[in-house]
A and B are shown apart, each in its own frame.
Chain A
Amino acid sequence: MCLNKKNKNLSLSTDLATMLSDGEAKELLSFLTLEMRADVKGQATGYILGLTGNRDGCRYLRSKPDFLKALVTLTRDPSITIVKDCYHALINLSADETLHQPLVKETDLLAILFQNLLDPEYMFADRICTILSNLSRHERTCRDVFSALQEQKIGLDKVVEIFCTEGFNKKASLHYLGPLLSNLTQLPEARHFILDKDRCVIQRLLPYTQYEESSTRRGGVVGTLRNCCFDYTHHEWLLSDAVDILPYLILPLAGPEELSEEENEGLPVDLQYLPEDKKREDDPDIRKMLLETLMLLTATKVGRQIMKNKNVYPIMREFHKWEKDPHVISACEKLIQVLIGDEPEAGMENLMEVEIPKDVEEKLKELDTKEQEQMEKDKQESEKQLKESPEGLER
């Protein structure tokens, strides 16, 4: 999913990439300095951008750390066009996993990105967020990103603060901080911070599960919450009044149905008396993530108890009637099963600690792979009709 924003001289680049001799490369590199004449510099960066437009070009640059360094340096260039090209090139490069280590190890990219992120006037902040969320996708470089946060003395709390401050940057929406946070929470250290009981971090993220203006932001937050729910030791706290995660997970799934007064009064406050224009989450992937998160919360006995007591079944019942996507329906059914089902037998109370016999485990893995394959097939078919995302980002 390496797609560039500006498709300059694409075909030309592909040819040149294979043809670029060492001497030519050296010359090109010499054009990529701050001191160089603007027009030459501009052409050079445009050319590099073209290179990053396809996989071969990216791979070529992987072996050329000096080019990467130059790109990063040129983000400080006074010309906006050049800076823009550099950022777009970096976005494309960061969408290729093999470029991750070279980018963070051979350049001071992370330091520059974070410093500029903090600047409320920086007009390329959104591109920074995209790059960061790309880089944090896989664990290894994700660790580097997280470390850089600490080293730059910024910390995750600053990121959360910026994310949750409406209008922090007038020129950038910063929605992609959502996916960044979600990616970072694959690390236990990041989860540890977000789930800190002595602070008020996760509580600030919760309202964004309903953020209408951006599915990126919404999805990022839901992904973050889902990752955090893998730590079942925090479930009771998450479901308690101190955090009260449940309504925020269910609200996006609730619709405008008229429930009886009785049913309404039994629901959590946020789910009562929903207006007739209430809309459900329209991204099926996010709906699925929400259900997965809810399922995670049913892993412990205490969690199940609380969720049953909160009486959200009527909402799930109506949701099940409404949902069309088969994958989501099946996730919903699993959840309902737990909500209205009996307690599992002794020894199985914490579903995350249950020992699965080896042969059963293998069978389940097999089934999972088959399901994944099927889903991929379905996805590819539907993607053919959809527009492609320019940022080359996967959740």
Chain B
Amino acid sequence: MENFSLVFFIDVYNHQFPIHDLRLIGHEFIDISRTQNTEFNKVPMFMKTAPENIDPEKHPDLACIQSIIHDDHRTPEEKARSLKDEGNEYFKEKNYKKAIVSYTEGLKKNCMDIELNAILFTNRAAAHFHLGNMRSALNDATAAKKLKPDHIKAIIRGAQCSMELRNYAGASQWCDEGLGLIPTDKKLQELRATADKKKREADRDARKEKIKAKKEQNEKEALLAAIKERGIKLLKTEPSRHRGLDSEDGDGDGGVSRALADLELDGISSQEATGACVYMDEQGVLYWPVLLLYPEHSQTDFISAFCENSSFMDHLAVMFGEELPPWDSERKYQPQNLQLFFEDPEKGNLYQVDLEKSLLNVLQHQRCSVKAGTPSFIVLVSGSPFSKQFLSGKKVQRLK
């Protein structure tokens, strides 16, 4: 490259005329002055200031490029080695991303030095490890080991990656391989012991989970059986997004899991969204979540655990006994005035409930069914105008 500065004119009176700084690049003259502010200026070849004046902290890439400048004179091994060193420098600064770049470049040189390549893989694995890229790290460790099966650092790294990936059996295998080479290596022994411990804990957790799930399954099956035994009808929910969860159920237990799902989902999707669900106590007694609806005032009450052996009056006496609800503006919702009905969803008929009877008894009524896992009842005040209006036009089965 020859450096021609050609003619320059100075305008004594005014500004300088543009200075043409022409350099011969290849066969072309290129006017450097035109490229003042471009990337060109960052390239050592075209820089105005000498490379030594560039701060390597600010432009570490330069260091990289600088070495590439002298590319032609070096063997692939030498280049790869420099890149390894460079990567190591970045690694020390904890600049793992840049380290990976350097190591990758080193590997791309495809030099013949197996040891060097193994080191490049191993170091790159370490960089990935510190970035949390466990799979990449493991791949690199594996590649290193393939090149050089006795490369202990690669084996240790492989074990560590497997641990992080929770493949404890795999980690043990790496350790055993390493211990085959250096039986007394403390690090490997430690890793192996940890992997072994974690594996056994994970096995225990799986066993515990399985037993828990089985127990829950049994409890739910017993619950369903109890409900069925009582002759209580459960209504399925409308096909909804919930359905998707269980339609692929391959349990082979017939309708049980579907029914269980109904029970579960319904409990969760109950209007009160309390997650309450029917349950059975140790004596085999059922407790239901029950909704009371007050259409007159658009109010509801939710009884989370209504014992099947209790009567409505038991609850109403307490709920409306001492204090009447705030929405009862007319003060007429007194226990003795209340009438409860359930609706037959099929035909839309209303059936009056005998308040002295147990919940179980009511639920066993032929036309009574439980929707969304929560029995619900309409509450009206006997003889009130609203009640008359509400009940007109409906088929009502009254108590005799």
B209 to chain A, nearest CB (A): 9
Of all A-B residue pairs in the complex, the 6 with the closest CB atoms, nearest first, are: A273-B207, A273-B208, A199-B183, A269-B204, A198-B184, A272-B204
- Residues of chain B within 8 A (CB-CB) of A274 are 207
Q: Does any Cβ of B come within 8 Å of A22's Cβ?
A: no
Q: Does any Cβ of A come within 8 Å of B48's Cβ?
A: no
Q: Does any Cβ of A come within 8 Å of B315's Cβ?
A: no
- Residues of chain B within 8 A (CB-CB) of A275 are 207, 210-211
For the complex, what is the distance from the CA of A164 to the CA of B192, rounded to whole Å?
A: 15
Q: Does any Cβ of A come within 8 Å of B293's Cβ?
A: no
- Residues of chain A within 8 A (CB-CB) of B189 are 199-200
Q: Does any Cβ of B come within 8 Å of A157's Cβ?
A: yes
Question: B207 and A204: CB pair below 8 A?
Answer: no
Q: Does any Cβ of A come within 8 Å of B216's Cβ?
A: no
Most buried by B among A203, A204, A247, A274: A203
Q: Does any Cβ of A come within 8 Å of B296's Cβ?
A: no
The B-contacting residues of A in range 215-232, CB under 8 angstroms, are none
Stretch from B130-138, B194-202, B227-235, B352-360 that touches the partner: B194-202
Q: Which residue of B lies closest to A166 (CB)?
A: B173
For the complex, what is the distance from the CA of A137 to the CA of B180, rounded to whole Å?
A: 28
Q: Does any Cβ of B come within 8 Å of A242's Cβ?
A: yes
For the complex, what is the distance from the CA of A204 to the CA of B179, rounded to whole Å?
A: 11
Q: Mark A142-167, 1 if CB is under 8 A from B, else 0.
A: 00000000000000010001001000
Q: Does any Cβ of B come within 8 Å of A257's Cβ?
A: no
For the complex, what is the distance from the CA of A382 to the CA of B395, rounded to whole Å?
A: 83
Extra contacts, 9 of them, besides A199-B183, A203-B192 (Cβ < 8 A), are A161-B180, A200-B179, A203-B193, A247-B200, A269-B204, A272-B207, A273-B207, A273-B211, A275-B207
B202 to chain A, nearest CB (A): 10
- Residues of chain A within 8 A (CB-CB) of B183 are 157, 198-200
Interface residues on B, range: 20 to 34
Q: Does any Cβ of A come within 8 Å of B176's Cβ?
A: yes
Q: Which residue of A lies closest to B205 (CB)?
A: A273
For the complex, what is the distance from the CA of A161 to the CA of B208, rounded to whole Å?
A: 33
- Residues of chain A within 8 A (CB-CB) of B184 are 198-199
Q: Which residue of B lies closest to A278 (CB)?
A: B207
For the complex, what is the distance from the CA of A273 to the CA of B197, rounded to whole Å?
A: 17
Q: Which residue of A lies closest to B206 (CB)?
A: A273
Q: Does any Cβ of B come within 8 Å of A213's Cβ?
A: no
Please report A residues at the B interface, Cβ cutoff 8 Å. 157, 161, 164, 198-200, 203-204, 241-242, 247, 269-270, 272-275
- Residues of chain A within 8 A (CB-CB) of B204 are 269-270, 272-273
For the complex, what is the distance from the CA of A241 to the CA of B200, rounded to whole Å?
A: 12
Q: Which residue of B lies closest to A258 (CB)?
A: B211
Q: Which residue of B lies closest to A272 (CB)?
A: B204
Q: Which residue of A lies closest to B179 (CB)?
A: A200
- Residues of chain A within 8 A (CB-CB) of B188 are 200
Question: A269 and B200: CB pair below 8 A?
Answer: yes
For the complex, what is the distance from the CA of A270 to the CA of B179, rounded to whole Å?
A: 25
B341 to chain A, nearest CB (A): 45
- Residues of chain B within 8 A (CB-CB) of A272 are 204, 207-208
For the complex, what is the distance from the CA of A164 to the CA of B176, rounded to whole Å?
A: 10
- Residues of chain B within 8 A (CB-CB) of A157 are 183
For the complex, what is the distance from the CA of A160 to the CA of B208, rounded to whole Å?
A: 33
- Residues of chain B within 8 A (CB-CB) of A161 are 180
A93 to chain B, nearest CB (A): 34
Question: B211 and A270: CB pair below 8 A?
Answer: no
- Residues of chain A within 8 A (CB-CB) of B176 are 164, 200, 204
Question: B207 and A242: CB pair below 8 A?
Answer: no
- Residues of chain A within 8 A (CB-CB) of B180 are 161
Q: Mark B159-199, 1 if CB is under 8 A from A, else 0.
A: 00000000000000001100110011000110011001100
- Residues of chain B within 8 A (CB-CB) of A273 are 204, 207-208, 210-211
A263 to chain B, nearest CB (A): 13
For the complex, what is the distance from the CA of A204 to the CA of B207, rounded to whole Å?
A: 23
A203 and B211 in contact, given A157-B183, A198-B184 (Cβ under 8 angstroms): no
Question: B201 and A269: CB pair below 8 A?
Answer: yes
A240 to chain B, nearest CB (A): 11
Choose among B193, B200, B208, B210 the residue that contacts A242 (Cβ–Cβ < 8 A): B193
For the complex, what is the distance from the CA of A199 to the CA of B189, rounded to whole Å?
A: 8
